[in-house]
Structure 1
Amino acid sequence: MEGSSVTLTCSSDANPAANYIWYKENINSLHLLSEGPQHVLRSIQTSDSGQYQCRAQNMLGTSFHWVTIDVNYAPRTPSVSVSPPGQIMEGSSVTLTCSSDANPAANYTWYKENINTVISTEQNFTITNVTTEHGGNYQCEVQNRVGRQITTKHLVVRAAVPLGTLELVVIGTSIAILLVVVDVSLIFLIRKKRSPRQVAEPGERPGYRSGRDGTWESEYTVVEYSGVKVNHSEPRPSNEVTDEDTAALYSTVKNHCS
């Protein structure tokens, strides 16, 4: 048992009396431990498991004997893994695996919270067609003749989203993004149109712009409504509408309508 004290004693009939040497096998080699008929292991650990050799020798020859030590120990704290990892969706399948180091090998028992009955005695516990009722705490008990350990795993099951609803969410999100893009584009275009005209450079004639052939072209705004032209006497931004424009348009429309 792990933690106990173990004494190895070696004896051999020999004349003259034999000398004793203790070795431990270590990866196909021998590690010298001590000399004398006894070798003591105090508070033995799992690392002390293995093959030990007692070698007896005198001037006439040598003989040896092997002994095996197997250290038993209670299960270590078990761990539980979930496959597949991540969120467990309703309708899917999930497997819980409980693992623990123990000697001798441990037995596994699964319980669910508030349920005294055993739901599985296998190391791997699988749930098919998961529902939200399968969510909760699961206990894995690991036990051998030396001792026992228990660990708990909380399982969260997410309700499945209907396919139609998911599609609507995607479509609605796409439309919202498109509307935002359109709004931003319109705001940028309006601001660009309302930007003030640049100040005339030296040598330029106010109200005119230089043509390709070097002549000056009038920048005066000409508004035409059904053959009626309204010329402004002063240059102004093309996007500015004055009271004169409104009156001319009203008069033209009124004459046509009458």
Structure 2
Amino acid sequence: MARLYGDNEDINSEKVKDFFNERANKKVDSDLSIVLFQDKENSERRNSEENALFLENIDCSDKKVLEIGCGIGRWAEFFKDKCQCYLGLDYSENLVGIAKNSHNFDNCNFQVMSAFDIKIDELLVEPPFDVILISQVLMYINDDNLKVLINEINTVISDDTQLFITEPISCMDSRLTLKDFYSDELEADYNAIYRTENEYREFFQKLNCNEINSFDIFMELNERSETQYMSFVIK
């Protein structure tokens, strides 16, 4: 197990997938706790805060929404009466199973698919998408695959697409990588990459966009000294 500072070290994508497939079967306070890693009350507070920030910055009315890394489908409840249609992708079969069982809405679909292997011609909703949502997913994707994802996003957006991305970032001058790091809190080995804000901005500059705005989020709920959460609104 290791905490790596500064090094651009890859994590094992299959181990991340296995972690979430196992996490889907774990007994926790609520479905939100499966993916947000906090108790029911604080998971609900985080979910509500992120929803509110989205509404302040993104217009999704009568729009086609793509969520990359949808997990248990927690955003479907939010979008079901706000957008034209919603498609959630995730590579964890077990999480997608929860999403389908919990959010059976006419305008919402879920599909098993990797973020860095999006098969455009197999999507249940035809591109382009008006809104792209990515919440706490990029931390599990290595740099090379993140470049692939950026290119994929550019193929499914239009000139007016809005992106809303929330990620935990490093508060330090360089990134922090957890590689096979045993977490007492999660009771499992954990793999994640905490990039700096500037690193993410460099990646996002490769999107077909005109502006990138950032917002601190979950500050009252953050108990970490080395990391914090940040949302990016890209247009």
For the aligned pair, the TM-score class normalised by the smaller chain equals: under 0.3
Structure number, greater radius of gyration: 1
Which fold has the larger relative contact order, with Cα–Cα distance below 8 Å and residues 6 or more apart in sequence? Answer: 2
Higher-strand-fraction structure:
1
TM-score, normalising length: structure 2: 0.18
TM-score with structure 1 setting the length = 0.17
Structure richer in helix, relative to its length: 2
